[in-house]
Amino acid sequence: MRMERTLITDLPNHIEHSVKIAGWINTRRDQGKMVFFDIRDASGTVQGVVLPKSAAFEAAKEIRSEFVVSIEGVVNKRPENNINHNVQNGDIELEIQAIQILSIAIDLPFEREAEVNLDTYLDHLPYTLRKGKAQEIFKLQATIIEAFRGSLRNQRFIEFQAPELVGTDAEGGAAAFEVKYYYDKKAYLATSPQFYKQIMVGVFERAFTTTKAFRGEKHSTTRHMSEYATLDFEMGFIEDHRDVMATLETCIRHVIAEVTKKHTDTFKLLGAELPLLPESIPIFKLQEVQEILETKLGMKALGEPDLEPEHERQICQWAKKEYNSDFVFVTHYPVSKRPFYVFEDEQNPGFTKSFDLLFRGLEITTGGQRIHDYDVLVDKIVKKGLVPENFSFYLQAFKAGMPPHGGCATGLERITARMLNLPNIKEVTLFPRDLNRIDILLSDTDDEDKNN
RNA sequence: GCGGACGUAGCUCAACCUGGUGGAGCGCUUCCCUGUCACGGAAGAGGUUGCGGGUUCAAAUCCCGUCGUCCGCGCCA
């Protein structure tokens, strides 16, 4: 008779019964006449023991770490003196009767749980992603995405799929990757879903997407990659950028609530604090932040068009002390620093109805109100030195009537990294792409001899 | 692209300053072990010190170049 597979986490419900489990070998502890294994599956781990007279004894001697096995045995309660209080299922044990090796593991570069350098980690992702720490990071990240979606759906947003192959570069500044598009035509990888989510405001009023953006800027930092995941939404019929900020804040609040509910252990594992989110996130204009930096923190900042990374770190530390908040909104960046579609503030000429959301020293979101008037938009395109004809597809939306609207884009990897207090966003990206790496170092594929 | 640090065993590192043909821990291989859970014990394999050049009687060590990594900056999510 065919035996159903039992998940390891369910084993305590099968004491004194025969079960079949399947998974990977964490470790083997060979005592000579008896062999112990730690076996893991997606649900947990358990110790198995192979006794001398077991039919599985020969197989037990062959098995090594990371072998994939199917095991039949009896679940036993452990005698009092053998209970291990430090591990999952430490009070039970599987007495192994049969082992089927489903797959062997060969030439493992290091132990699965070994702490390795980032470079080594990235070189071996198919293996290193199996680390407990990596698994926890990406499970938490899945919750962030899920909560982002859930919150926006609750706020009447509809999800849509944005294209990755585009005809023009949305931001005008960000370096776009050019792709050969059949014969002699050119296309680009999207640097942002910006135009499409604005177009979708004309369709759904409120639209969001979780998609990829590609930027070919040749920098090497702990917060940039060639390809990143962006959580984007755009909403119609707003008064100004503050409506967007309120929607985002609701979203962030839900994300933190969900992550707190489901992943407190992950925070402990990584030594990270749960994010501090007060009744409302403090909001400052750029100029106000610069004044605080100058007068209270003794830094030079006034007159600059933007905040430097060090400024962002400092203002966040200050806000944490003063407002008990890990988040800070900064609004009213100058027109010169923002893309053409950003709405200029009638009350503060030269400054925009835009915002950044800083989280623990790093900007994780940029957003604001958009221009919805066709003529104004065309005028801004021209003033930025761009050619309106190149944006004709996008501009159709505005010819067809667009409500006042706005939106924002949150970097998934950035929010994850700051949440878990991990210094480099590559640690929270499954398969990071950067200047020199797509899965493996590009220099290795370009030219085998180059670095030998 | 610029600036700083680094590159030594499969992994993580020591030896570099003060030149004298390289070590540790973990992992791996073989053997021993009936209560381990970081198992323990014995033995063993594994390195042109990223690459190239220079100084020197002698270079992992000092100098130059090159390739690569990490960190910071411009830019940005």
Domain locations in chain A?
8-103, 130-429
Please, which residues have CB within 8 angstroms of residue A259's CB and are 6 or more apart in sequence?
Answer: A140, A143, A144, A147, A419
pLDDT band at A446 (very low <50, low <70, confident <90, very high): very low
The interface predicted TM-score of the complex, written ipTM, equals: 0.92
- Entry field: residues in chain A: 452
pLDDT band at A171 (very low <50, low <70, confident <90, very high): low
**Closest nucleotide to A64 by C1' from CA:** B28
pLDDT band at A2 (very low <50, low <70, confident <90, very high): confident
Please, which residues have CB within 8 angstroms of residue A330's CB and are 6 or more apart in sequence?
Answer: A283, A284, A285, A286, A289, A307, A315, A355, A356, A358
Range from A146-150, A202-206, A387-391 carrying the lowest mean pLDDT: A387-391
Protein-covered nucleotides on strand B (Cβ within 7 A) = 1-2, 7, 10-13, 26-29, 32-40, 50-51, 67-77
User: Which residue, among A35, A11, A34, has the nearest Cα to A22 in the 3D structure?
Assistant: A11
**Predicted pLDDT of residue A172:** 57
Tell me which of A210 and A173 has the higher pLDDT: A210
Strands (E), A237-361: 283-285, 327-331, 354-359
Interatomic CA–C1' length for residue A224 and nucleotide B2, angstroms? 17
Query: Does the pLDDT of residue A326 top 70, yes or no?
Result: yes
**Closest nucleotide to A427 by C1' from CA:** B70
Q: Compute the CA torsion angle A258, A263, A267, A269 (nearest 10 deg).
A: -170
Q: Which residue is nearest to nucleotide B52 (CA to C1')?
A: A452
Please state, for a pLDDT cut of 90, what percent of chain A lies above it: 84
Please state, for a pLDDT cut of 70, what percent of chain A lies above it: 96
The answer to whether A38 and A25 are in contact (CB under 8 A) is yes
pLDDT band at A443 (very low <50, low <70, confident <90, very high): low
DSSP conformational letter for A55: T
**Predicted pLDDT of residue A170:** 58
Q: Decide: helix, strand or coil at residue A332.
A: coil
pLDDT band at A169 (very low <50, low <70, confident <90, very high): low
pLDDT band at A416 (very low <50, low <70, confident <90, very high): very high
User: Which residue, among A90, A104, A22, A26, has the nearest Cα to A59 in the 3D structure?
Assistant: A104
**Closest nucleotide to A52 by C1' from CA:** B34
What's the predicted TM-score (pTM) here?
0.93
The answer to whether A152 and A233 are in contact (CB under 8 A) is yes
Interatomic CA–C1' length for residue A334 and nucleotide B65, angstroms? 45
Please, which residues have CB within 8 angstroms of residue A264's CB and are 6 or more apart in sequence?
Answer: A274
**Predicted pLDDT of residue A445:** 43
Q: In terms of DSSP bridges, do strands A68-77 and A405-411 run parallel, antiparallel, or are they unpaired? A: unpaired
pLDDT band at A168 (very low <50, low <70, confident <90, very high): confident
What gap in Å lies between CA A220 and CA A217, rounded to an integer? 9
CATH topology (fold) of A8-103: OB fold (Dihydrolipoamide Acetyltransferase, E2P) (2.40.50)
Q: Is A420 exposed, middle or buried (0-12, 13-18, 19+ CB in 10 A)?
A: buried
| CATH class of the A130-429 domain in this structure | alpha beta
User: Tens digits of per-residue pLDDT, A246-267?
Assistant: 999 999 999 999 999 999 999 9
Interatomic CA–C1' length for residue A424 and nucleotide B39, angstroms? 36
pLDDT band at A3 (very low <50, low <70, confident <90, very high): confident
- Give me the mean pLDDT over the A155-174 stretch: 84
**Predicted pLDDT of residue A440:** 73
Query: Does the pLDDT of residue A449 top 70, yes or no?
Result: no
Q: Phi-psi bin for A120: left (phi > 0), alpha (psi -120 to 50), beta?
A: alpha
**Predicted pLDDT of residue A441:** 64
**Closest nucleotide to A429 by C1' from CA:** B77
CA distances (Å), A265 to each of A12, A130, A210, A260, in order? 22, 18, 26, 9
**Predicted pLDDT of residue A185:** 87
The domains spanning A8-103 and A130-429 adopt the same CATH topology: no
Q: Which residue is nearest to nucleotide B11 (CA to C1')?
A: A110
pLDDT band at A448 (very low <50, low <70, confident <90, very high): very low
